[in-house]
Amino acid sequence: KNEVEQSPQNLTAQEGEFITINCSYSVGISALHWLQQHPGGGIVSLFMLSSGKKKHGRLIATINIQEKHSSLHITASHPRDSAVYICAVRSGGGSQGNLIFGKGTKLSVKP
Amino acid sequence: DGGITQSPKYLFRKEGQNVTLSCEQNLNHDAMYWYRQDPGQGLRLIYYSQIVNDFQKGDIAEGYSVSREKKESFPLTVTSAQKNPTAFYLCASRIGLTNTGELFFGEGSRLTVL
């Protein structure tokens, strides 16, 4: 079983829809990252959170440490949101900085 | 603008050849990382470096080598010993030596072995 599981693997939505991508993990973590990978391959960090909720524009990320679960929400989705969204967790302490990555959720938003 | 620059974006290699992927950052970040991405899999850590002249193996270091002679540069060499080198390679950096900073990624390098 993967330590970081994302669902769904693929998601197709119509422009304007509210989107939710889920991430569940099985290890103790110190932080969780949500990343966006563009079709060209470059990755942008969207959020880094260790508790509660963060919001940036139309994006909202939440985390429930007790349930080992995080969600990424996109409100009023737009075709430019089409990308692969990756959840990554930082497990444990220390200075190694290693992350455990999910396999990603491929989102396609149709106009 | 500050950021991470990877080059080349696309690279073709014949079997038996070593190739070096460049990663340069002007963010003054201490820690730098190399990841490999294969279809249907999460990113996997190849090597990382937290300080100049020091680096550590990640989960899949076999067949790869790195150097960190300058703070801003962390090149990755894919050697002929790497059995399946065709993949997408991503370089990342983080400020500070503790495990708390946000990660910044480059645009990636796609290596194809012919």
> How many beta-carbon pairs below 8 A join chains A and B?
66
Q: Which of A101, A96, A91, A95 is nearest to A5 (CA)?
A: A101
DSSP label of B95: S
Give the chain B residue nearest A102 (alpha carbons): B42
CB pair distance less than 8 Å for B110 and A41 = yes
CB pair distance less than 8 Å for B100 and A45 = no
pLDDT of res. B99: 58
pLDDT-based confidence at residue A93 (cuts at 50, 70, 90): low
Higher pLDDT: A94 or B42? It is B42
pLDDT of res. A97: 54
Task: Provide the percentage of residues in chain B whose pLDDT is more than 90.
Answer: 77
Does A100 lie at the interface with B, CB-CB under 8 angstroms? Answer: yes
**How many CB atoms are located within 10 Å of the residue A49 CB?**
15
What residues contact residue A46 under an 8 Å CB cut-off, 6+ apart?
A33, A34, A35, A36, A56, A59, A61, A72, A85
Segment 5-44 of chain B within 8 Å of chain A by CB: 31, 33, 40-44
Tell me the C-alpha distance between B99 and A89, whole Å. Answer: 12
Check residue A55 and give left, alpha or beta (phi > 0: left; psi -120 to 50: alpha): beta
Give the chain B residue nearest A36 (alpha carbons): B105
- As given in the structure block, the two tokens for residue B59 are 């989960």
